[in-house]
């Protein structure tokens, strides 16, 4: 495809999403390098993200750009090349979520510096969607989310809770402090484990560097917030079977995950390369299929629209603290990280992605489960 045809092709894809090149709307993109068009044709999602990282294009309002672009599914209009076919092969055949790669997400995303996350997140360092229903700021919204989880599980003093993917211990610390429970938190990030152990010092909280497949204890309740996205569709059943094995008969399991409107077997190529390796977003069909015969789905709550605001709060914190952070990260990282946060903000704004809190029981709650909101 020659340069002129590449330019026309990309402009047509953008026009279908009501996006202009060098237009006057905040969501229009400004092309700074004519090689931009060919790069998108060749590399699709990776080309779009990398060319932004390299300064080849800009946009005044990236979340709105992606709110318009993502639902139009532009990748379907680009011919799959060898790179894309190899990428699909990696997910479909090689199972990047297998246990031998379990710690890779920790090493490549969560271990890039606790200082970064301290500057970007709320005071409890909760790295998942906040609950903005009655909250006025990020700290309040994250505590509201943590309390919502505790109430949905019906936590009581002395209960034992397994937190799969505990992050920096935000939920474990809150639940132990406010509800008097004992928590075992597991993470595949060494940096998270070390800081979480420090932050939870003196509380009945045990933080472990451990893969979910290696847990063999039983708990009154299980919670997993923002971890299921790293499991991979080939491992969903194994994950559910592990949770079922570790949950006492009368207990509840709360799964908090980003959700995809459609089932897929691959993650986004740019996100996989630069942000969340070996990860993909599950559909409701995939989740319910994995849980079938193991759990009763008692409740499902979607508050995905709240992630748009959460991501923009993180973006504001990151940009506000960049003068301090740039001692450890370069300008290309800055463009990569701000791009990542705004891509996802746009996808949630478009309601293409969701946030689901799903309450499951092993045998069904006698008399029925009463929903908590």
Provide the 10 A C-beta neighbour count for residue 113: 13
Tell me where in the chain the CATH 3.40.50.150 domain(s) lie.
99-361
User: Which candidate, 358, 73, 88, places its Cα nearest to that of 228?
Assistant: 358
How confident is the model at residue 42, as a pLDDT?
87
Instruction: Give residue 316's Cα distance to chain centre.
Output: 18
Q: How far apart are CA 80 and CA 86, in angstroms?
A: 10
Tally Cβ neighbours within 10 Å of residue 371. Answer: 11
Strand bridging mode 219-225 / 247-260: parallel
Question: In the CATH hierarchy, which fold is given to the domain comprising 99-361?
Answer: Rossmann fold (3.40.50)
Question: Whole-angstrom Cα distance, residue 184 to residue 240?
Answer: 18
Specify the pLDDT at position 97.
63
User: Cα(172)–Cα(305) distance, rounded to whole angstroms?
Assistant: 25
Cα 62 to its chain centre, rounded Å, is 18
Instruction: Tell me which DSSP letter residue 169 carries.
Output: S
What does the pLDDT read at residue 75? 72
Of 303, 302, 301, nearest to 153 by C-alpha is: 301
- Full pLDDT tens readout for the chain, 373 residues: 567 888 888 998 899 999 999 999 999 999 999 999 999 988 889 999 999 999 999 999 999 999 999 888 777 666 555 454 444 445 444 456 666 677 889 999 999 999 999 999 999 999 999 999 999 999 999 999 999 999 999 999 999 999 999 999 999 999 999 999 999 999 999 999 999 999 999 999 999 999 999 999 999 999 999 999 999 999 999 999 999 999 999 999 999 999 999 998 888 999 999 999 989 999 999 999 999 999 999 999 999 999 999 999 999 999 999 999 999 999 999 999 999 999 999 999 999 999 999 999 999 999 999 999 9
Structure tokens at 82: 């060898």
Q: Which two tokens stand for residue 94?
A: 């090689």
Give the single-character DSSP code of 154: T
**116-130: b (≥16 Cβ within 10 Å) or e:** bbebbbbebbbbbbb
Dist CA 254 CA 361 (whole Å): 9
Distance CA 296, CA 288 (A): 9
**The two three-digit tokens of residue 160, written as one number:** 């034992």
Euclidean distance between CA atoms 126 and 130, whole angstroms: 8
Distance set, CA 287 to CA 238, 239, 259 (Å): 12, 10, 9
| Cβ atoms 210, 204 nearer than 8 A | no
For residue 315 the two structure tokens come to 């973006």
Residue 89 confidence (pLDDT): 43
| Res 108: pLDDT | 92
CA distance 308 to 320: 18
């Amino acid at each position: 495809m020659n340069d002129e045809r590449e330019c026309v092709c990309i402009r047509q894809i953008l026009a279908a999403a009501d996006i202009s090149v060098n237009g006057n709307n905040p969501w229009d993109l400004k092309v700074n390098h004519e090689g931009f068009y060919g790069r998108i044709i060749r590399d699709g999602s990776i080309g779009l993200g990398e060319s932004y990282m390299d300064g080849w294009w800009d946009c005044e309002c990236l979340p709105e750009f992606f709110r318009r672009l993502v639902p139009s599914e532009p990748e379907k209009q680009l011919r799959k090349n060898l790179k894309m076919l190899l990428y699909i092969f990696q997910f479909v055949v090689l199972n990047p979520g297998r246990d031998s790669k379990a710690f890779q997400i920790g090493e490549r995303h969560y271990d890039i510096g606790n200082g970064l996350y301290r500057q970007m997140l709320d005071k409890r360092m909760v790295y998942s969607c906040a609950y903005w229903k009655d909250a006025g700021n990020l700290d309040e919204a994250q505590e509201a989310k943590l309390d919502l989880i505790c109430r949905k599980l019906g936590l009581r003093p002395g209960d034992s809770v397994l937190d799969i993917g505990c992050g920096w211990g935000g939920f474990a610390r809150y639940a132990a402090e406010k509800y008097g429970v004992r928590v075992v938190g597991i993470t595949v990030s060494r940096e998270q484990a070390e800081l979480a152990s420090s932050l939870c010092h003196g509380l009945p909280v045990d933080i472990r560097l451990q893969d979910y497949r290696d847990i063999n204890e039983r708990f009154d309740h299980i919670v997993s917030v923002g971890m299921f996205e790293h499991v991979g569709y080939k491992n969903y059943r194994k994950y559910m079977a592990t949770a079922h094995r570790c949950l006492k008969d009368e207990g509840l399991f709360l799964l908090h995950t980003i959700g995809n409107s459609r089932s897929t077997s691959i993650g986004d190529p740019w996100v996989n390369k630069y942000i969340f390796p070996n990860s993909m977003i599950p559909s409701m069909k995939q989740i319910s299929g994995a849980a079938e015969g193991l759990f009763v789905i008692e409740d499902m709550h979607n508050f995905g629209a709240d992630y748009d605001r959460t991501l923009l709060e993180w973006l504001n914190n990151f940009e506000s603290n960049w003068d301090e952070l740039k001692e450890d990260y370069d300008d290309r990282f800055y463009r990569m990280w701000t791009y990542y946060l705004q891509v996802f903000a746009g996808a949630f704004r478009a309601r293409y992605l969701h946030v689901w809190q799903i309450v499951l029981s092993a045998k069904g709650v006698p008399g029925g489960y009463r929903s908590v909101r």
